[in-house]
Chain A
Amino acid sequence: MSPSASSCVLCRTLLWSLLVLLVLFAFGAAIRFLPDRPVTYDDPVEHFKYGSTGGERNMGFPYWIFQVLPEVCPDLLPGKGYPSLGFIFEPGRDLPVGMSKRRHLGIDRVFLNCAVCHTATVRTAPDAKPMLVSGMPANQLNLMGFQKFVQACVNDRRFTPSQVVPRIAEKAGGLGLLDTHVIYPVGIHLMRDGVAGLTGRLRFIHLQADWGPGRVDTFNSAKAIFGVPFEKLSPEELVGVADFPAIWNQAKKQDMQLHWDGNNSRVEERNLSAAFGTGATPKLIDHAAIARIEAWIATAEPPAFDRHFPVDRALADRGARIYMQRCAACHGKSGSDFSGAEVGKLTPIAAIGTDRGRLDSYTLELAQNQGMLYSADPERRFRHFRKTYGYANAPLDGLWLRAPYLHNGSVPTVWDLLQPASKRPKSFYRGNDLYDPKHLGFVADQPASQGTPLFAFDTRIPGNGNAGHEGAAYGTTLPDADKWALLEYLKTF
C-alpha cells in the first residue's frame, strides 16, 4: 500500500465517521426539538383544567422557569408562591388549575388555559375542605397581579441565567449540559424578549386601578393586540374591568347576546375569542383541544346549592311566584329553563343603569377591526362582533356561585343586589371562598381568609360603580319578606 492510499483510507474513515456523527446529532436534535406534544387527559374535566389550547407554543413559559420565578423574585409576590395570586393547586399537582403543559421546541412549556379564569374553590363552612368547582368564575385569581408579577420579575436584574439556572438545577434535581448551557439561558433571553414585547402593548394595566381577584379587562386586552395608544384613548373607554363569567350550559346559550354587553351571539366565536386570550393565535390554536372543551361546557351544569345547604321549600315556592312576575322575562323560567321573552337580549344602558365602564370599553372601532383580526383563518374569522349599547340579560344557572354580582362584581351578595344602590355596601372584600348561604354570596365583610389578606373592593372608583339594576322592576322595592322568599327560590338555580 502506498502512503497516498493509506492516507486516503484514513481520510475516508474520517469522512464517514463525521457523516455518521452528523446523522446521529441530527437525529438527537430532532428527538429533542421536533416533538410538539401537549399533555392529554381522557376525562373532559381534567382536560378542561389542565389540557392545552395551543397557547404554549406562542406564550409558553419554560416549565422550570415558571416553577422557579417565585423563588427568583419572592418580594414581587403578595405572599408565598403562586397561591398568593389566587392560583389553585390540587393535591399532588405541580401546576395550578388552568395551566397546561406542552413539549415544544425541545422544552416543556406551560401556559394558562380556559380553566384558570373559570374554576374556583368554595368552602361551605370555615373548617370545611375547599371544594373545587369547574366552570365557575375564578373568584380568587388575581390575573392583573400575575401579569404584573411576570413582567416585573422577567425585567428584574435577578432574571439572568446565572441566577435562574442553578435554581432550576436544584429544583429539577440536576440538569444536562445542553439544558444548563444552551436551552435555559436561551429560554431566559427569549422570555425577556417576549415579555418586553407584551409589556408595551399591555401597558394599559398600569393605567388602571387594581382589578382585584376574579376580574379582567377583556376588551382593552383585545385592543392591546392592535398596539393602540392607550394614553390617548378617551378616558371612558379605558376601564372595562368585568367579572369572570361562569361558563356552564353553553348549548342553551347559542344565539343569545353573549359577553356582558352582548357583543357576540355565536358561542363558537365567543369561545375562540376567549381562547385567543390564552395566547392561542389562529395558526397555533389547537382546535381539537378547544372542541373538547366546547363539548364539555355545552352541557356542563353547576353544582346544586341544596347538596351543600338546606333550602326552605315552602319559602322558595312563594319566591317562585315573585320571580315569575318580576324576573323571569329577562332571566328565564328557572336555573335550567332559559326561556323568556327578553332572555339573552339587551337592556339599554339607560334602563339598566349599571356601571358604563365595561360597555364603553368595547367600541365600534374595535368591533370593526375584529372582522379583520383573524383573517388568516377565513373559515373562523370573526363575523358576529357588534358594538352594543346595553348589557345582556343573562340566564341565572348556578347563580349562587356567581357572586359577586353585576358585570363588574360590585355587589357582594344577592341580598345586597335586592337593595337599592344606596344601601349596597360601598366597599367590601373580594376573594374569600367561604360561602354565606344566608345572603347568597361569598363572605365579604372579612378582611382576611385563613390568615391571607383579601382585596378591598371600592365601588366608588371608576368602573366599579354598584348602581343600577334597581327599582320596582328589579325587585329592590319589595318588602323584606318577599326579598327573602325570592332569595330562597334563587337558591334552587
Chain B
Amino acid sequence: MKTLCRCPRWLKITALVVLILGVVLGYVGWDRFLRDHGATQFDNPDDRFKYGSMGAENDAGIPYWIFYVLPRVFPDKLPKPGVGYASFGVVWEQGQELPVGFSKRRIGFDRVANTCAACHVASYRSRPDETPTLVVTGPNHTLDLEAFFRFLVDCAKDPRFNADTLMAEINLAADLDFIDRMAYRYLIIPITKKRLTERESQFEWIYRSDFPEWGRGRDDAMNLTKYFMIRWPMDDTFGPTDMPSVWNLKKYQHEKGHRMNFAGDSHDVYSVVIDSALGLMGAAPKDTDDFLAHIDWLVDYLKNTPPPKYPFPIDATRAARGKDVFDANCAVCHASALTGTIIPLSEIGTDRGRIDTWGKQAAIEANQVVSDMGIERRGLVEAPLTGYVAQFLDGIWLRAPYLHNGSVPTLADLLTPPAQRPQLFWRGYDVYDPVRVGFVVQGAAAERAGTPLDTRLRGNGNQGHDFGTGLPDADKSALLEYLKTF
C-alpha cells in the first residue's frame, strides 16, 4: 500500500510543530485567561457574605493589578482626599486585603468584583477614637457608590490609562511573570480600558449636572436596573434611595401582600436577591445552577440573620412609656397587617422621585430578561408604582438617615415637622448620636468624612411622613427611646 500522504517530510515536521505549538498556546491561553480557579471558600457565613465571590468576576471583574494601581495612578480622581479605595467610604476591616464586598477570584488571572456586602454591611462608632464596629447585612451608609462608578469610567477615559503608565506602577508592586506581563500590556489593559469606557453611555445620567449627587450611602437603584439590565435610553427621572438593611428578610411574606424594595416593586425576597445579584454580575451567570445555589444560600442567610441590638444604654422606663405612644400613633402602619404593604403616595407624601424611575413596562422587560436566562422567580411587580412600603422597623436605629431617600438624618428629625427638618447635612460619617438616634451629621468631622445632602435638590425632598410630628416633646422622647428597642 502506498503511503496516503505524499507530502514532503519538512511539511510533516512543520505541521507537527505547528500542532504542538497550537496545543501549548491553547493550553496557556486557557490557563491564563479563562480557567476558573473557583471562589475562595469560607466556613463562617458572615465571612462568606462579606468576601465570598458571587461570580461577578467573569463579566464585571476588574483585573486585580489594574484595580490595585488605579488609585495610585489617579489620586486626583478620588472623591475626596484620602488613601486609595478607603476614600470611597467602603467598609474595610483592618488587616484584610480587600474591602468588605470586594471579592477576588482567579479566572485566568486574578480579578476583583463586588458582592452584595459592598452595599449591605454597615459600620458605626460610638465616638471618633474607636475602631468601627461592623454589622453584616446592615445598610452601608458610608459608601459613595456613584463616585466609585465614575472613578472607574474616568480613569479608563484618561490618556494616562495606558499600558506604559499602568505597567510602570504595577511593576513596582507585583512580580508578574513574562506571560502575565505580556498579557497585561497587550490585552488586559487595553481590553479593560475599552470595556470600562463602553459603560460611559449607560452611566450618562450619573454625570448630569442637573441631578444632585447620590452621596454616601445611596444609589439610584431602579435607574441602574433600567440602564443596565434592560438597557433603556436615558430619561429624565432621578430617584436616589438609601442602601437598605437586608437582615431578617423572613419578615416579608408574599402571601400577606408584603412587597419589597422601597416602592414595593418586587414580589419577594428570592426575586430581589436574584435581581440585585444579576445587577452586580452585569451579565447572565456562567453556570446557572451554581448561581442559583449561591442565591439559595444567600436567601437563607439573609432571612435568618437577626437585626442588630441597639448597643448603647436604653432607659427602660421611658421606653415603656414610649410603647404606648408607638401603639397609639405608629403601630397602625409599622406593626400591623399594613406593614410591608404599599401606602399610597397621597397619604405618605414623601419625595416621588423614586416612584417615577420605574414602571410597569420596565418590570415586564426586566422579568423577560431574567426568564430568558432560564431563571424562574416571581420577579418584579408588573404594575404602576403608587406609593412607598410601610417599613418593618427592625434594627431601625442603624438605618439612619431616614425615609427612602435618606433625607432625614435622625429619628428625632423625623418626628419634627418637615419644614423644620435639616435642609443641609452631611451623610457618611459613622459616629453615632444616641440622643437624636442617627449618625452625627454636622460639624467639621462629619463634613470631612461625608457628602452633603441638600433636601432642596431633586429627589432629596424631606417632606412627608409627618406622622407624630405634633406629639408633645415628652411623648417624642419616650417614643425615641422605645424605637431603640427595635
Contacts and interface: CB of A to CB of B under 8 A. Distances in A.
Given A226-B75, A233-B81, A234-B81, 20 more contacts: A225-B72, A226-B72, A226-B83, A226-B84, A227-B75, A228-B81, A229-B78, A232-B80, A233-B82, A363-B83, A365-B84, A365-B87, A368-B84, A368-B92, A368-B99, A371-B92, A371-B94, A371-B97, A375-B68, A376-B173
A369 B76 contact: no
B12 interface: no
18 contacts: A228-B75, A228-B83, A233-B81, A282-B173, A283-B174, A364-B86, A365-B82, A365-B83, A368-B83, A371-B94, A371-B97, A372-B68, A375-B97, A376-B175, A381-B97, A385-B95, A386-B94, A389-B129
Nearest to A366: B83
Contact of B94 (A223, A348, A364, A381): A364
A446 B84 CA distance: 45
Contacts of A191: none
Contacts of A223: 83
Contacts of A385: 94-95
A349 interface: yes
A444 interface: no
B96 interface: yes
Contacts of A386: 94-95, 131
B86 A348 contact: no
Contact of B175 (A283, A369, A381): A283
A61 interface: no
Contacts of B94: 364, 367-368, 371, 385-387
Interface of A: 223, 225-229, 232-234, 281-283, 348-349, 363-369, 371-372, 374-376, 381-387, 389
B92 A228 contact: no
A375 to B, nearest CB: 5
Contacts of A229: 75-76, 78, 81
A381 B94 CA distance: 12
Contacts of B93: 368
A224 to B, nearest CB: 10
Given A226-B75, A229-B76, A371 B81 contact: no
Contacts of A349: 129
A81 to B, nearest CB: 31
A237 to B, nearest CB: 10
Contacts of B60: none
Nearest to A365: B86
A227 B172 contact: no
A385 B94 CA distance: 7
Nearest to B128: A389
B68 A382 contact: no
Nearest to B173: A376
Interface in B104-139: 129-132
A283 B84 CA distance: 21
A453 B82 CA distance: 39
Contacts of A234: 81, 448
B283 interface: no
Interface-centre pick from A283, A368, A376 (highest chain B CB count, 10 A): A368
B174 to A, nearest CB: 4
Nearest to B76: A229
Interface residues of B, number: 32
Nearest to B110: A375
Nearest to A376: B174
Contacts of B163: none
A368 B129 contact: no
A322 to B, nearest CB: 32
A153 B82 CA distance: 31
A303 to B, nearest CB: 37
Contacts of B83: 223, 226, 228, 363, 365-366, 368-369
A225 B83 CA distance: 10
A260 B228 CA distance: 50
A71 to B, nearest CB: 31
Contacts of B331: none
B335 interface: no
Contacts of B86: 364-366, 368-369
Given A368-B92, A376-B174, A389 B130 contact: yes
Contacts of A372: 68, 84, 97-98
Contacts of A282: 173, 175
Given A283-B175, A363-B83, A389-B129, A226 B97 contact: no
Interface-centre pick from B80, B95, B96, B99 (highest chain A CB count, 10 A): B95
Nearest to B170: A376
A463 B76 CA distance: 27
A368 B131 CA distance: 12
B142 to A, nearest CB: 12
Contacts of A384: 95
Contacts of A383: 95
Nearest to B89: A365
A384 B95 CA distance: 5
B401 interface: no
Question: Which 4 pairs of residues, A with B, have the shortest CB-CB distance?
Answer: A232-B81, A283-B175, A389-B129, A365-B86
A366 B87 CA distance: 10
B73 interface: yes
Contacts of A233: 81-82
Contacts of B87: 365
A229 B94 CA distance: 22
A325 to B, nearest CB: 29
Contacts of A382: 95
Interface string B44-86: 0000000000000000000000001001110110101111111
Given A364-B86, A365-B84, A371 B175 contact: no
Contacts of B96: 368, 371
Interface-centre pick from A227, A282, A385, A389 (highest chain B CB count, 10 A): A227
B84 A369 contact: yes
B429 to A, nearest CB: 12
Contacts of A232: 80-81
B82 A228 contact: yes
A66 B283 CA distance: 56
Nearest to A381: B97
Contacts of B95: 371, 382-386
Contacts of B71: 226-227
A142 B94 CA distance: 33
Nearest to A384: B95
A217 to B, nearest CB: 15
Interface in B164-194: 172-175
B316 to A, nearest CB: 31
A281 B175 CA distance: 10
A225 B172 CA distance: 10
Nearest to A386: B94
A385 B97 CA distance: 12
A226 B81 CA distance: 12
Given A223-B83, A368-B86, A281 B129 contact: no
A400 B389 CA distance: 70
A387 B97 contact: no
Contacts of A366: 83, 86
A265 to B, nearest CB: 11
Nearest to B81: A232
A287 B446 CA distance: 43
A300 to B, nearest CB: 29
A472 B174 CA distance: 52
A75 to B, nearest CB: 33
A281 B173 contact: yes
A439 to B, nearest CB: 34
